[in-house]
Amino acid sequence: MYNHAAVVVGNNGRDLQLRQHGGVSKTTLSAAIARYRNKANYIERVVILRPKSRS
């Protein structure tokens, strides 16, 4: 079951840049994982979907 979604808006070569609702609206994937690491609702899985190219 998935209970949250974020949109990847960039990649600075070291980390994915995310935008999400609630809490911090501008963050990185590693910062989001670290923020929830020792919480009851920790990030268990990350799934990245990339739209298929239209060309």
Domains in the chain, number = 1
Query: Is 2 inside a domain boundary?
Result: yes
Q: pLDDT digits over 28-40, tens only?
A: 889 888 988 888 8
Report the predicted TM-score, pTM, of the whole model to 2 decimal places: 0.66
Mean pLDDT of 46-54: 81
Query: Is 55 inside a domain boundary?
Result: no
* Per-residue pLDDT at 46: 82
The domain of 1 spans 1-50
Contact 28, 42 (CB under 8 A): no
Task: Report CA-CA distances (Å) from 9 to 3, 37, 40, 41.
Answer: 20, 23, 27, 24
Q: pLDDT digits over 8-17, tens only?
A: 888 888 898 9
